[in-house]
Amino acid sequence: MNNDDFLNKVEEVVDILKQSKSILLITGAGISAESGLPTYRGISGLYDNQNTEDGIRIEEALSGSTFTRKPELTWKYLSQMELACRGKSYNRAHEVIALMESRFERICVLTQNVDGFHHKAGSTNIIDIHGNLHDLYCRQCVYKETVNDYSNLETPPKCPNCGSIIRPDVVLFEEILSTVKTKQLSEEFQKGFDVVLSIGTTSVFPYIAQPVVNAYYAGIPTIEINPVQTRVSEFAQIKIKEKAGVSMNAIWMILNRD
């Protein structure tokens, strides 16, 4: 995308935002890639189109059934995911999304990412639909803890209260989404949005693609920021083929230019 096309599309986005009060931002792995994280397939990653060193697909290693049968195996790959996040932090795209709360009446962030970067950047209305890798809990008692570094955990880690195996508060393959978070998402949808932005996600999950599709057919402006074509690109009124950080920074700078 050449610079003139990029700036023209950014101006179009800004014109829409200036007329908006409520905004839904849907984010995926692409927004955190600029922080140095590998892009994930589902919540997995690091093993795109290949088996793990244990000879099984990452989806199987990070599944609910494997966690039940072999928690040490699931924890092995959860730990590799955490290691990929360790020492990394939010970037300009996360910052701008958090800053938007000071400009608009209502901002909602629907993210597939489990890295917690939106929280760290300062966003407050976040639906992390796949959970947060750093929030650990016990299914047998009330133990909960936020852990930013897995290096001191045994594999698999056990609850200090009851001795049961603990787990991160993430949705593993084969598991259903949190009813609390799907209810929160439903309530946000009922309030409605003036514009929907899809940023750095290929939108392979129906619950990630559907808000864009629904907005498109309802005549609500839809914007996609992604260098590649995705499952929702045809439903994007404006498509910016650029990285999230560059795009969101340009949008914010022009939005506040006057």
Question: 23 and 105 in contact (C-beta within 8 Å)?
Answer: no
Question: Distance (Å, rounded) from C-alpha 88 to C-alpha 105?
Answer: 30
Which residues 6+ apart lie within 8 Å of 256 measured at CB?
Answer: 103
Question: Distance (Å, rounded) from C-alpha 122 to C-alpha 150?
Answer: 23
* Token representation of residue 219: 């005549």
Question: 40 and 29 in contact (C-beta within 8 Å)?
Answer: yes
The DSSP bridge pattern shows strands 131-137 and 144-146 to be antiparallel
DSSP label at residue 56: S
Over its C-alpha atoms, the chain yields an Rg (Å, rounded) of 19
Backbone torsions φ then ψ of 221, nearest 5 degrees: -55, 135
Catalytic pick among 94, 118, 119, 130: 130
Question: Does the annotation count 130 as an active-site position?
Answer: yes
Helix ranges (DSSP H) in the chain:
3-18, 29-33, 58-61, 64-69, 71-85, 92-99, 117-121, 179-191, 206-217, 244-255
Question: Distance (Å, rounded) from C-alpha 100 to C-alpha 66?
Answer: 40
Instruction: Provide the 3-class DSSP secondary structure of residue 129.
Output: coil
**Catalytic residue annotation:** 130
